[in-house]
Amino acid sequence: MTRSIPGVPPAGETAQRRALPVLPSASGDPGALDRRDFVKTLGVAAAGTALLGCSQEQVEKLIPYLASPDGMVPGVSTYYATTCRECAASCGVIAETRDGRAIKLEGNPDHPLNRGALCARGQAALQGLYNPDRYRGPMIRRGDRLEPISWDEALRAFAERVAETRRGGQAGGAVFLNQHESGAFPAFLDDWLAGLGMPPHLSYDGQADFASIAANRQSFQVSWPRYDFRAARLVISFGADFLDAWGPSVTYQLDWADARTDFARAPKLVYVGPRRSLTGLNADEWIDCRPGSELAIARMLMGDFTPAQAAVVSGVDAARLERLRAALEAASPSLVLGGGSMDVALMANAINNARGNVGATVLTAEPVTAYDGMNSPADVRTAVDRMRAGSVSLLMVRNVNPVHTLGRSGAVAEAMGRVPFKVSFSSIMDETSELCDLILPDDHSLEQWGVAQPLRGTLSLQQPVMNRVFDTRPTADVLMAVGRTDSALASRYAAPSFREWLLPRLPGGANGIAAALPNGLIAGNVEPRGATRLAPLPRLAPPIEGTQGDLYLVLYNHPLLGVGRGANKPWLQELPDPVTKILWQTVAELHPDTARRLGVKNGQMVRVQTEAGSVNLPVCTYPGMHRETVAIAVGRGLVRSGRYASAGVNALELLLPFEDRSGAPAYVATKAQVAAAPGYQQLVTTEGSARQHGRGIGRAMLLADIGRDVEHHDGPVHHKLPGDGDHSHLPGLRAPIAADAQGDLVHPEDIERGMYDPKHWSGMAKRRWAMTVDLARCTGCSACVTACYAENNIPTVGAVWQGAKLFPDKTGFGANILRSREMAWIRLERYFEGGEDGGPDFDTRFVPMMCQHCGNAPCEPVCPVYATYHAPDGLNIQVYNRCVGTRYCSNNCPYKVRYFNWFGYGEPARAQYAFPEPLNWQLNPDVTVRAKGVMEKCTFCVQRIREAENRAQAEGREIIPDEFTVACAQACPSRAITFGDAADDRWAINRLVHDERAYHVFEELNTYTAVVYLRKVLHQEPSHSPQRRLVPGSAADTGGGAH
């Protein structure tokens, strides 16, 4: 709203993107204060002094700059294209910066990998950038403490150490562990190491599925082929969670959604695995095999086994396996994906080969190169073994955390104790860095230059989007500075910084880069790093059947937190797991029948014990579990990775020191002893009831019924009464009832008239902002939720200190969530349909639920102070300043999408403050940080609407249809959400609202919502009958915690 400043730079495109004209200062000459900084400092200080005299209020800086850099207009965003480094895939992002601060990350629409979408983890990179637990500058160990030192001292200490190592002839014993990334830096690093006589670095990624990578390398000589879901007629996934985090999953979200909504030739998905992951929940069929028996089923498909033999091993009904085999025979082309185990992945590749899928659905010729150069985790383990043997002279780590990711049984901490000098380049504290002797914190990836190579032939540029937050330096610059101290290397590193080193080496040179920066992409390749495989023999686990225990233990990487990289980001901690809906907590997932057999209920503690260790966890029953299995997510319970990361329990305590044949830690390798333990921990979940109870919230229809005018019976029965409006009408979305309520009696079916006269003086009544949510596209990944948090300054409330006032006797993470006080304006409701008998055949409905902006809103008339009212353009407005907090609006909201500020989450002085410095730098200046005691809810990103209107007005034009969209729709990787003006036929939304699958949630309540849902499409007749249960059972009976 503050963006309607005259003289806004003209923007022909939707997003005006510009290259950063100059490198941020302080890279060359730290400590020096240039003229601009001096003026800024002086101005701010003077303003502060002047203001103090006349106000009792706390003086705050409205904008970070008083004298802004050239070309920067206060209150107008600048957009930079860069590359996401949160996982190896290297999606392209557009960083929105305002007054020199990055405030939002969105997918780069031109990027071939993510095509404008961005997952929750990628968006949360901002909370890595602004993480309060980042190292604020270089540190050195004195005694048992890390103490801050200056960069000069730190560089000197590092250079001395390097020189000393070389003098002692021990350079060959140095180890550099680097977070795996694609692009130029790995080669640069190897080059630097080689110059010093050190071995190439180990490129390590704890969260990538190395089993698949190793298999692909063996089968196809590429790390990761591209998959074409649209061409496939049948997709079989053996634990390859391509919608959760397996590979470049953002790519797959869109591919999959596109493939599935091409109804004429949509592929069917069968998921094989002991636990139904998010991908499993999106599958049409789930084959709940025993852990470790996926291979047998895959071999059955290959023809090595008969279905009967595979049935014995896997515990799955032979007839089902036979059906699966027949389906695979019938489908051509098909696509078989294997993950988690190299053997399974190899077998999947073999099936693809045998079925002729390679070249059709498995595109090895245009591979994803983001995983090239990655070392096997076994290489890292070998390095650790060397450390333990005392043969490592110098250890350097950068953004990897093997102390955590290799588990307690990896004994990395002990091994590191034998290394004389350890240097960490990590930008944020973690278990490994805390053991190091010298910390030379790296810039965050949003603060530094670089290049990534996501695909063959495509380079994705990485550029700083803002000045650095802390006193950090790019590792490459540090390495170059150290190199310059060595006479032999000095000539190699003549360039003042990595940027100058890098740019000439890219295709097109520096000029080409300048041209390419606005969209962040260059065609071409960088020289890949050479093969550095140590090729150790993996420590294979003994057969799982032979291990001792009651239940198979399935560890899996949390889809949002990775192995723990996301654990210190409150957005990700507060984002409910898409499957279990657990947040801030680690749980033991058990099938309801198994839990019953153990005599435990949701929240009761169980002790899970393996030979490596034991953990006590609360039980969370989940019907998508194999009955003989306990599953635990890895990624929480990090004790030294920052203030948020210690939520939950570290499941890697249970990890045995075994490896898959690829060298990846064996997450499924043993049975575990599981027994009820004393104690109870209420489940921290956002789930009320996991069943819809016939309310028709997430509806579905059969694929066969598409295009046939059938009547659906999956919602509440509505008895039409005289005088009722026409419930079947879709937007238009005007609310004749609301007009009636204004005394403006109109015909009940007249959709032209709303509460406001179309000729309302404001000129706004001609629009009706509306949204469609296509449940056939939505995969439940929850990226929209994080986008909303980022866009709308939504506080996270689950940290331990934020809930301390609630349960003074027992404090823990998620106390506010236990009271259902999460603030997510958009939430992913996840309902199970069918499977009441505990069987594997249940259907899942993911329903993004946000304010429905009802045309006849129940919340509006009950607010005594007009804090919520109806805008002429159809928005349901919430005026925070007017709200007194009666909360009646929430009571009257059937969708329950209003959220109350129970505490002062936005007040820095309070314990409940949700944005500890510098997390508050991320706050969107267009959106109020809400005060204690007021109600808030989804605004349809009103700030974006008004910005677009203002921009159009400033440019003397109408808004172009689909010129802008809201944050959730923008982020959605599967394009399930569409936003637009339903009163204007030119907007894309108008096609969707009149889709045959369209319905309103609770339309029987005459709310005339602006959000239209499109039915999910079932590809096979559900095995359950969708009977209405008149009498609901307790919410706990279906696998979720009632809270």
Task: Count CB atoms within 10 A of the CB of residue 1032.
Answer: 12
**The binder of other proteins chosen from 356, 457, 507, 864 (CB under 8 A):** 864
Should residue 804 be labelled a site residue for other proteins when binding is judged by CB under 8 A? no
Give the range of 86-94, 222-230, 491-499, 925-933 binding other proteins by CB under 8 A.
Answer: 925-933
Mask: binding to other proteins, 821-840, rule CB under 8 A, as x and -?
x-----x-x-x---------
Should residue 931 be labelled a site residue for other proteins when binding is judged by CB under 8 A? yes
Distance of alpha carbon 379 from alpha carbon 537, whole angstroms: 9
Distance of alpha carbon 784 from alpha carbon 978, whole angstroms: 12
Should residue 933 be labelled a site residue for other proteins when binding is judged by CB under 8 A? yes
Distance of alpha carbon 1034 from alpha carbon 823, whole angstroms: 25
Q: How far is the CB of 730 from other proteins (least distance, A)?
A: 20
Task: Count CB atoms within 10 A of the CB of residue 980.
Answer: 27
- Angle, in degrees to the nearest 10, between helices 184-195 and 475-484: 30
Largest CA distance in the chain: 94
Q: How far is the CB of 862 from other proteins (least distance, A)?
A: 5
Residue owning tokens 């023809």: 303
Q: How far is the CB of 1028 from other proteins (least distance, A)?
A: 7
Should residue 934 be labelled a site residue for other proteins when binding is judged by CB under 8 A? yes
Should residue 268 be labelled a site residue for other proteins when binding is judged by CB under 8 A? no
Residue owning tokens 């990787």: 973
Report the half-sphere exposure of 171 (CA within 13 A, side-chain side): 17
Q: Which is nearer to other proteins, 1025 or 1034 (CB)?
A: 1034
Mask: binding to other proteins, 461-500, rule CB under 8 A, as x and -?
----------------------------------------
Should residue 681 be labelled a site residue for other proteins when binding is judged by CB under 8 A? no
- Beta strands in 28-75, from DSSP E residues, in sequence order: none
Q: Which is nearer to other proteins, 244 or 936 (CB)?
A: 936
Q: Which is nearer to other proteins, 501 or 999 (CB)?
A: 999
What residue spans of 196-317 are helical by DSSP H? 210-220, 249-261, 278-281, 294-302, 307-314
**The binder of other proteins chosen from 101, 320, 325, 691 (CB under 8 A):** 691
**Residues numbered 943-962 forming contacts with other proteins, rule: CB under 8 A:** none
What phi-psi label fits residue 1005: left (phi over 0), alpha (psi between -120 and 50 degrees) or beta? Answer: alpha
Give the range of 41-49, 474-482, 725-733, 926-934 binding other proteins by CB under 8 A.
Answer: 926-934
**Residues numbered 384-413 forming contacts with other proteins, rule: CB under 8 A:** none
Q: Which is nearer to other proteins, 658 or 880 (CB)?
A: 880
Q: How far is the CB of 904 from other proteins (least distance, A)?
A: 6
Name the token pair of 948: 């677009």
Dihedrals phi, psi of 737, to nearest 5 degrees: -60, -40
Q: Which is nearer to other proteins, 54 or 1031 (CB)?
A: 1031
Should residue 136 be labelled a site residue for other proteins when binding is judged by CB under 8 A? no
Should residue 597 be labelled a site residue for other proteins when binding is judged by CB under 8 A? no
**The binder of other proteins chosen from 747, 896, 986, 991 (CB under 8 A):** 896
Q: How many helices (H) and strands (E) does the chain have?
A: 29, 37
**The binder of other proteins chosen from 326, 537, 865, 988 (CB under 8 A):** 865
Q: How far is the CB of 698 from other proteins (least distance, A)?
A: 10
Question: How far is CA 35 from each of CA 42, 98, 683, 786, rounded to the nearest angstrom?
Answer: 10, 22, 55, 39
Give the range of 34-42, 279-287, 652-660, 901-909 binding other proteins by CB under 8 A.
Answer: 901-909
**The binder of other proteins chosen from 112, 199, 716, 918 (CB under 8 A):** 716
Length of the chain: 1043
**The binder of other proteins chosen from 188, 644, 900, 913 (CB under 8 A):** 900
**Residues 6 or more apart whose Cβ sits within 8 Å of residue 86:** 121, 122, 124, 125, 128, 565, 566
Should residue 932 be labelled a site residue for other proteins when binding is judged by CB under 8 A? yes
Q: Which is nearer to other proteins, 374 or 818 (CB)?
A: 818
**The binder of other proteins chosen from 861, 918, 1022, 1026 (CB under 8 A):** 861
Should residue 1042 be labelled a site residue for other proteins when binding is judged by CB under 8 A? yes
Distance of alpha carbon 210 from alpha carbon 206, whole angstroms: 9
**Residues numbered 903-922 forming contacts with other proteins, rule: CB under 8 A:** 903-904, 912
Should residue 601 be labelled a site residue for other proteins when binding is judged by CB under 8 A? no
Question: How far is CA 392 from each of CA 164, 171, 420, 525, 820, rounded to the nearest angstrom?
Answer: 14, 9, 8, 34, 51
Q: How far is the CB of 723 from other proteins (least distance, A)?
A: 16
Should residue 195 be labelled a site residue for other proteins when binding is judged by CB under 8 A? no
- Report whether 151 contacts 137 (CB < 8 A): yes
Q: How far is the CB of 712 from other proteins (least distance, A)?
A: 16
**Residues 6 or more apart whose Cβ sits within 8 Å of residue 548:** 611, 671, 673
Q: Residue 470 burial (CB < 10 Å; 0-12/13-18/19+)?
A: middle
**The binder of other proteins chosen from 888, 952, 954, 1018 (CB under 8 A):** 888
Q: How far is the CB of 677 from other proteins (least distance, A)?
A: 24
Should residue 805 be labelled a site residue for other proteins when binding is judged by CB under 8 A? yes
> How many residues at the interface with other proteins, by CB under 8 A?
67
Amino acid at 232: A
Dihedrals phi, psi of 705, to nearest 5 degrees: -85, -5
Q: For residue 313, give the 3-state DSSP assignment.
A: helix
Should residue 816 be labelled a site residue for other proteins when binding is judged by CB under 8 A? yes
Distance of alpha carbon 659 from alpha carbon 421, whole angstroms: 28
What phi-psi label fits residue 389: left (phi over 0), alpha (psi between -120 and 50 degrees) or beta? Answer: alpha
- Report whether 30 contacts 470 (CB < 8 A): no
C-alpha angle 619-282-604 in degrees, rounded to nearest 5:
5
- Angle, in degrees to the nearest 10, between helices 342-354 and 210-220: 40
**The binder of other proteins chosen from 25, 68, 519, 892 (CB under 8 A):** 892
In the complex, the residues that contact other proteins under the rule CB under 8 A are 686-689, 691-695, 697, 716-717, 719, 805-806, 816, 819-821, 827, 829, 831, 847, 849, 858, 861-866, 882-888, 890-896, 899-904, 912, 931-935, 1002, 1005, 1028, 1030-1032, 1034-1035, 1042-1043
